[in-house]
Structure 1
Amino acid sequence: MKELPHTLTAKKEMLVRLKEDFLQKNQRYEQVKSKVKELREQLAEAEQKRAELEARMEFLQTQREFEAQDKEIRMAAEKEQQIRRDLQREESRMEEIKQELERERLLIEEQEKEISKEEEAIQSSLQEKMKVLEELKREEEKIGPLLDPDMVFKFSRIIQSKEGVGIVPVIKDVCQGCFMLLPREFVNRIRRGEEIIFCPHCSRILFFQEVPEEVPQVEEEEEESFGELSDLVDEDELFEDDLIDDEDSIDFLGEEEEEGETIAPSTLLKHKEAPEEEIEEDLDEEDLDHPLEEEDIDIEDEVDELEEEEEEEEIDEDIDEYDED
């Protein structure tokens, strides 16, 4: 009930400030308005004086009188122009203040309407709360004689000192009235509910309130994320890639067997994983890594030379025998 008029009070204070500003601007408007009136009168006098001086020009006879009269006319005209400029400035200022006053007047009217509506709503709400309060008082009168007088007195003192909040829950071992942590044994006594227990810090009556524990959903989210990643890869594409790699390795082995060359198992693995350019480089390196083949070629050449020498010796012996015969 005490909290209901707070917003209404703030709006009323704002309305008072708006009215004060409106009054101050209205005073300025009246001052400017009176000055505009005064300037208009001065302008009319200046125009009349200039017209009279111009009318006298017809009756002048000497040059000196004519020059003096012309000077007075110029001075009257300058004064008239100055008054006209001042009048225009004050009129524009008066118009601005008038527009501001109109805006503030509309704002004040809207604020007054809102305040009247809120007052009506507060009055209706207040009447309903008064009815509920009367019903609670009647129930209190019925139950009061059955309660311990000391407990009722203590509870009424707590309500008065704690702004009407005398009973609060205990959530996760914390009093929700003063937000102080309570001992575990003390909380277990409150949980059992066998007696009326007061908070040792704020003196409010306590009751235990269960808080449902939130089930973590991290594992499910991780499984869903893994599932989404696996959906991005097609199993058929993976199977086709494996088949292509196997076919390339088989074709390479077939070509090497036709040429009569032996390939080490490590080389086979390299050719299966490496691209075609790296395969050619590996084969060139293997040819360089077998110097025994060059030695075998040199030995065969020496054997051929020895056989040729033996044949030449046999031919020479036959020729010598023939000469002797």
Structure 2
Amino acid sequence: MPITRTRSAGLLAILALACSAPARADAPEGHGAYASLTFGSGRIDGPAAVGDRSMNGRSLEIRAGRDLLVFGGDQSATASTILRFDIIHYNEGHPDNNHRDGFAGQLVLSHDFADGRVIGEIGGGPYTNMNTTTIGGVQYDHAGRGRLYTAALRVPVPQLWPGTEVRVAVNRVALMDTFNSTSLQIGLGRHFGAPPPYSKETEAGTPLWGGIAFGRSITNMSHRDGSNGAVFSVRRYLNGLGWSVKGIDEGDDGVRVNRRGVAAQAWLVQPLTNAFTLSYGGGPYWARNTYDDATRLHGLFTVHLDYNVDKRNKFFFAFSRVKTYAQMDDRDLFNLGYQHAFGG
């Protein structure tokens, strides 16, 4: 997709900020968190793979997770074996006439093989995706579902930033009735062994967070202009979870999408440091597109990074994917915004 490099640079800067921020020194030991950003390349294969099969050096993975079970005498996030749940946004690069990306959930088993010097992990889980192709001069979006498998090595590099790791991984995508892919991914990550506890303002029954954000909306088809968009939201945290309701104006691309609607999302929330909180959200999105004068039900998936100014104010960056499934007008939404806590 034409915006991949711009999106990658922005997300790399955000991950760098999160990785360089010091973890809370007095945080109690317990289940940790993980975040990484990797780039790479690979090839597609299978009977549906035609033409240039290379990803052309443009594969991208954004990963965030939470430790579920730790195995060790102290039951801390520093134990040698950890079972983790990750949510992933994966872009499979640009093979000939195929631009496929999507979201996955994985159960990941990691193990420390060398007293903290090398950590290995394997994981797998469901993968929902969208592939953009051109047939007979007409561009189409094809929704797909399959599995994403990963094997990785993590090597700490404290001389770069304390807690930061180099991540080297192999991703394998397996789908039915279409091509598969394999890529080698290299980048940076961090396991937050002692993330801050959930703050009091995120407990059940505490404030509603009102937010406003502005940004750009990109229709996932070639030769479509970006448009200015806005999002108004109400959000409540429930310790490690949350919910939100959003009013969304995606803007007009001048050709096929001018969409407005309301979305409801459930959230998985993970503090990383005192300053940064990462969350993933997903849910239904009811929206009307003025170009075909129809209201439809879509899916909305969001990666959300908060910068906590204080207990009642946050700035945030959000990347959202509107998945229309049966329609050919999926969109990427990039927004910068502000949230304030009301009540509580």
TM-score w.r.t. the length of structure 1 is: 0.14
Higher relative contact order (CA 8 A, sep 6+): 2
- Whose radius of gyration is greater, 1 or 2? 1
Q: Which has the higher strand share?
A: 2
